[in-house]
Amino acid sequence: MSYTKDIEALGSVVGAQSTWKDINPESAVRMRLQNRFNTHLDIAKYNAKIMREDMAAYDADNSKYTQSLGCWHGFIGQQKMISIKKHFGNTKRRYLYLSGWMVAALRSEFGPLPDQSMHEKTAVSGLIEELYTFLRQADAWELNHLFRALEEAENAGDNAKAEELVKQIDNHETHVVPIIADIDAGFGNAEATYLLAKQMIEAGACCIQIENQVSDEKQCGHQDGKVTVPHADFLSKINAVRLAFLELGVDDGVIVARTDSLGAGLTQKIAVTNEPGDLGDQYNSFIDGEVIEKAEDINNGDVVIKQKGQLVRPKRLASGLFQFKPGTGEDRVVLDCITSLQNGADLLWIETEKPHVGQIAGMVNRIKEVVPDAKLVYNNSPSFNWTLNFRQQVFDAWKEEGKDLGEYDRADLMNEKYDTTELADVADEWAKEFQAKASREAGVFHHLITLPTYHTAALSTDQLVEGYFGDQGMLAYAKGVQREEISRGIATVKHQDMAGSNIGDDHKEFFAGEAALKAGGKDNTMNQFG
């Protein structure tokens, strides 16, 4: 229904109650509109539908990829979505990402931790709930401004303006968007994964990302020492997440299966195999080992497996972990991805050591031979030196073309002397086009930056500190922060309003009428900003 019809309908309800004479139906309608989602589970259901529609749109047109930024606090996520609406008019194909790394580094109750599956298990679901609480508040804040503008237009007798504002209210787009939430390696066994997935879904998650590392040995995706699990172990956790979605009525919930196999050289255990060529046998075929010629070559405690008809003693480290054969990473990635998609996963995540479209496409094309509609979620990671990577890629391309590279030193391409060169300009253009090219050529449906706001928070704080505690004093804040907020139209310049002061004032009026004591009078300092 429209705003005006909602008021009429609720007016009938209120009017039927003789003791509700102080209740204004319009106030109630405004409060309803400002609270579009009754529960965060409603959010999960709403956003799952959106993600599925976006996935179908990408399948039809690979220029329609999606994007997100990792956010470690509700306020950061809120301001990101407000800025998206301000700059682009809508939130279409723009999500949030919740990184396990950022939870560990910034939101763990234990304090900053390495991303090694050490933070408390409930921190992720808590952050999901917080993010959506702030996004819902952004809806209430934006609508409140429309309601106040409508009142002003009506009081001024400006019917045309009032009609336009009612139309904006009726067509209001929520700030609530899908969150791709990182459940790491499931934090334990399949039952733990199921229980945590339920918490995350109830907090609003429509999409859960899970990786094939060992929970208690899990390492950051861009660090060494990663330990993968046999496919059966991983698939049981994918099943656990799917059943959590189905139990809670999110039938179209999305699962991202992440493989770290490209960079993982270790496994914790040997897979169960029943016959040659089965999934367990394929997994074990990648394990490095020594051929056993005779029984007396087997030592006490040795594990022996059969590989292509030969008895092999897997290489086991002092940690008890087994080692994969060198150079098998890409083959393991392809097998992991195909297996995941054939067993309930919806999207893939391939963790790479560099942003290289050709490398990604080489693996994805092999996957697409078996699963034609395979789609990636790709980490545009701050762990990459983007400038160096693309300068080196341009250098290598030019070398292959036979171009004269005498003025460039490949090992020193970060040197400032190269910043104004043709190579640097081309490299910047490649970085600019990376997302579109990767989506077009390498099946990337969703591009994310895992922890950008970790870096932006540090950078902006450093810039303010340098001036404020130095010789700039308050000018550092006035010029470097406040003037920038004003010139860029950033709503936080009126921080009381952003935090909900005006909403609170309006509620006071709803509750107490003319007796309401409001904070937003003529002397409110927020009036200094227009």
The rounded distance, in Å, linking the Cα atoms of 499 and 147 is 17
Sign of CA dihedral 402, 408, 412, 414: negative
Strands (E), 191-320: 207-211, 227-228, 254-259, 266-267, 289-291, 305-307, 310-314
User: Which of 206, 219, 221, 286 is closest to 260 using CA atoms?
Assistant: 221
Query: At 192, which helix (H) or strand (E)?
Result: helix 190-202
The rounded distance, in Å, linking the Cα atoms of 419 and 399 is 19
* Pair of tokens at residue 67: 């994007």
The rounded distance, in Å, linking the Cα atoms of 127 and 200 is 9
- Plot region of 71 (φ>0 → left; ψ -120 to 50 → alpha; else → beta): beta
Torsion angle (degrees, nearest 10) of CA 262, 268, 274, 275: 40
List the helix and strand counts (H, then E) for the chain.
Answer: 19, 14
* Pair of tokens at residue 278: 């089965």
Contact (Cβ atoms closer than 8 angstroms) between residue 448 and residue 180? yes
Contacts of 265 (CB under 8 A, 6+ apart): 224, 226, 323, 324, 326
User: Which of 510, 526, 516, 529 is closest to 29 using CA atoms?
Assistant: 510
Burial class (CB in 10 A: 0-12, 13-18, 19+), 386: middle
- Which of the residues are catalytic? 220
Contacts of 363 (CB under 8 A, 6+ apart): 262, 330, 333, 334, 337, 350
The rounded distance, in Å, linking the Cα atoms of 51 and 45 is 10
Strands 266-267 and 347-350: unpaired
Q: Cα 158–163–166 angle (5° rounding)?
A: 125
